[in-house]
Structure 1
Amino acid sequence: MYRVLVPIDNDENRALRQARFVTNQPYDLSNVEVVLTHVLHGEERQAPPAMQTPSRVTTVKRAREHLEDYDVNVTIAEASAPPEDGILDLIDEVNADHIVMGGRKRSPAGKAIFGSVTQTVILESDVPVSVTG
Structure 2
Amino acid sequence: MSNVLLPIDDDERHAKDQIQTVLNLPLETDELTVTVLHVFTDNPNSASITQLRSTHLIQEALEDEGIAVELDERSNDPADEILSYAEDNAVDVICLAGRKRSKTGKLLFGSVTQDVILNTNLPVLIAGTDSVE
Q: Whole-Å Cα distance in 2 between the matches of residues 19 and 86 of structure 1?
A: 21
Relative to total residues, which structure has the larger helix share, 1 or 2? 1
Q: Whole-Å Cα distance in 1 between the matches of residues 106 and 127 of structure 2?
A: 11
TM-score using structure 1 length: 0.88
Q: Whole-Å Cα distance in 2 between the matches of residues 84 and 104 of structure 1?
A: 16
Q: How do 1:48-127 and structure 2 match up within 5 A?
A: 49=46, 52-107=47-102, 110-127=105-122
- CA distance change for structure 1 residues 27 and 104 in 2, over 3 Å: closer, same or farther? same
Q: CA offsets, 1:36-84, max 9 Å, x none?
A: 0001244xx232x5xx321221111111111111110000111331000
When structure 1 is superposed on structure 2, of 91-100 and 106-115 the one drifting more is 106-115
Match of 2:44 in 1: 46
Question: What amino acid is the match of 1:68?
Answer: E
Q: Whole-Å Cα distance in 1 between the matches of residues 106 and 74 of structure 2?
A: 26
Aligned-residue Cα RMSD (Å) equals 1.5
- Runs (4+) off by over 3 Å: 107-110
How many equivalent pairs are there?
128
TM-score using structure 2 length: 0.88
Q: Whole-Å Cα distance in 2 between the matches of residues 9 and 21 of structure 1?
A: 16
Q: Which structure 1 residue ranges, 5 or more long, are not aligned?
A: none
Q: Whole-Å Cα distance in 2 between the matches of residues 17 and 96 of structure 1?
A: 20
Q: Whole-Å Cα distance in 1 between the matches of residues 27 and 115 of structure 2?
A: 27
Residue identity over aligned pairs, in percent, reads: 38
